[in-house]
Chain A
Amino acid sequence: MSPDTARSVVEPGATAKLLAAVLVAAYALVALIPIVWIVLTSFKTPSAAIAYPPSVLFSPSLEGYVNVFTQRTRQTPEYMASLPPPETWYDALVRSRNMVIAGPSRFAERYWNSIIIGFGSTFLAVFLGTLAAYAFSRFRVPLKDDLLFFILSTRMMPPIAVAIPIFLMYRTLGLSDTHLGMILLYTAVNLSLSVWLLKGFMDEIPREYEEAALVDGYSRFQAFLKVVLPQAVTGIAATAIFCLIFAWNEYAFALLLTSGNAQTAPPFIPTIIGEGGLDWPAVAAGTTMFLVPILVFTVLLRRHLLRGITFGAVRK
């Protein structure tokens, strides 16, 4: 047998590798096309956005981004002529469409709400989940298995199935359309995932580490902070990403429970369409910006995520 026909038993062959590469590339393409489309659209002018056949090469415009952040009114040519020259580039851009900026839109506010509610509920869910998971993993909790099953069972139906009771409850408690209400709601929904995922990670951390810290003069809580937490970082990061993705993207409860005050970006973005015709670039711009925080968060925690998702399988 010549050397180049000698094959390793464990290493996949060249054909298998090629096939895998093609499959991955095809999947990536299918998954990425809509996102690329949205990002491209966000830099188009409204007319270019609805052009058929769609243009792939176009001169980029920030009109969509200006529109998503502003409210504009159409004016008569006489009024436009009477105005002093525009002070900023976005003033100029809006005036070129025979409109003037009437004021900021509520997008920034909704976006900020999304950040507060998304990250706030993620923090709470992961914080409480970590403590609960540690307790379930290490202590003799009465009815432990039943409690864990009960926690999981809260996810056995879609959360929206209890929308009406929650709506009524929130109205009575004065939690409707408040940041606190939404944070609590998303925390409650995420908590079961968080407890279960994190318990898996905690179980993987040998007890001896904490016990070593306990005999070495630390309290149980110090041992948890200094020894357990640093080793649970991977699990915590992975859990946080899952929680954030849910809270960030949640649409139905946000639509139902929020309006003027605590509305998040997901129910807001579709309403952009309604304002003054089909402003697709503005919708696309809003969507593009909506993707950024979660993308940044995921990239920052990516190292942990990869190891976290395969937890158990490849623990060093």
Chain B
Amino acid sequence: MAEIRIAHLHKRFGEFVAVRDTTLTVADGEFFVLLGPSGCGKTTTLRMIAGLELPTSGEIRLAGEDVTFRRARDRDIAFVFQLFALYPHMNVRRNIAFPLLAQGLPRAEVRARVVEAARLLRIEHLLDRPVGGLSGGDRQRVALGRAIVRRPAAFLMDEPLGALDAEFRALMCEELRLLHQRIGATTVYVTHDQLEAMAMADRIAVMDKGVVLQCDRPAEIYHRPRSIFVADFIGSPAMSFLDARPAGPTAARVGEATVAVPRLQEEPPPELVLGIRPEHLRLADSAPLRGVVAGVEYMGARQVVTVDTAAGRARLRCGNEVKVGFGERVGLLPDPTRAILFDRASGRALRSELFAAAGHG
């Protein structure tokens, strides 16, 4: 069990910077998710923590020890690869036992620990099977077995559910989370799927182009994104973004309408974007912000309504009892405590009361 500290980590491949000046701390026992679009440097970061890639500069500490340039095998870390990397020439039992054999444990203990890991993952019945014929989920479990059998200081997982089909992914998500609760080992989990990240993480770091944009608890990231990129990347359906101009410390002009926002704590720039989550936007006949319904998607008890306004397209989520039809003119009312104003030029969220309340839900 260990804390992972990364300081000013930098990785260049030739001229290309894959990871830029990254500083993170993963607390002992935490389930930490690195989230970002493909190619943003998640795998590279993880590989540097594992010792499979050496950083160009920066420092990595594991349980307080500087391991930046230490060999992978001396770091006491387990890595679950995207495609599992189960050794095809060994059966399940030998795959799981493989890390223990490196430590030269006595045979009896190896046997016992393999069985223990297999029992935890409910794959005891597969132990003597070749890995070739296993289903995706079982391969995943064997890969996890190979990781947990060693009782390492930390687990690193690179999109471990990426190769599974959607139905299975939800199930494995839950299993992984339960496993983490039982073992309690520090885990760094890489994914590009924000739903996975939201479902599992204690904390999420959102990355883009080699930079960590925001690192926070899932609810914070969801409700208080610090930039348009993070706001847009998290949440489904996505946050709506409407063109806006400043209108005093507690409002913004969106088209012809004035919309109330949490009190700003800085001087707004002239060009703004108003961001609002679908569940924080209501249909209200009297609201000054007007638009035309461009689509209605029924999703069981709820529905998602798409409305075109003069300032851009907005989506809102509401109950099925609200009846709206395509082409209908409607009024939109954003929740004044939840709206976020961004600087259009930099994409940065303006400081406001919403952010000052950070950490209080």
Contact = CB atoms under 8 A, between A and B. Distances in A.
A214 B73 contact: yes
A295 to B, nearest CB: 28
A218 B73 contact: yes
B50 A215 contact: yes
A213 B85 CA distance: 10
B83 to A, nearest CB: 7
Contacts of A217: 73, 99, 102-103, 150
Interface in A205-253: 206, 208-209, 211-219, 222, 226-227, 230-231
A230 B52 CA distance: 22
Contacts of A208: 81-83, 85
B78 interface: yes
B79 to A, nearest CB: 4
Most buried by A among B51, B81, B132: B81
B89 A215 contact: no
A316 interface: yes
Contact of A206 (B73, B85, B146): B85
B48 to A, nearest CB: 12
Contacts of A231: 87-89
A208 B87 CA distance: 10
Interface in B41-56: 50-52
B72 interface: yes
A246 to B, nearest CB: 29
B85 A212 contact: yes
A215 B85 contact: no
A217 B83 CA distance: 20
Contacts of B150: 216-217
A206 B132 CA distance: 15
Nearest to B149: A216
Nearest to B98: A216
Interface residues of A, number: 18
A214 B88 contact: no
A206 B87 CA distance: 10
A215 B75 contact: yes
Contacts of A227: 87
Interface in B63-89: 71-73, 75, 77-79, 81-83, 85, 87-89
A216 B85 CA distance: 12
Interface string B329-357: 00000000000000000000000000000
A211 B81 contact: yes
B188 to A, nearest CB: 13
B83 A213 contact: no
Interface in B164-190: none
B75 A230 contact: no
A230 B99 CA distance: 17
B230 to A, nearest CB: 30
Nearest to A214: B72
Contacts of B83: 206, 208
Contacts of B71: 214
Nearest to A316: B132
A216 B78 CA distance: 7
Nearest to B158: A208
Interface string A166-207: 000000000000000000000000000000000000000010
Interface of A: 206, 208-209, 211-219, 222, 226-227, 230-231, 316
23 contacts: A208-B81, A209-B87, A211-B79, A212-B85, A213-B98, A214-B51, A214-B52, A214-B71, A215-B50, A215-B51, A215-B52, A215-B73, A215-B78, A216-B78, A216-B98, A216-B102, A216-B146, A217-B73, A217-B102, A217-B103, A218-B102, A219-B73, A231-B87
Given A208-B83, A215-B72, 19 more contacts: A206-B85, A208-B81, A211-B79, A211-B81, A211-B85, A212-B81, A212-B146, A213-B98, A214-B52, A214-B72, A215-B73, A215-B75, A216-B73, A216-B98, A216-B99, A216-B146, A217-B99, A217-B103, A231-B89
Closest 3 CB pairs of A and B: A217-B102, A216-B99, A208-B85
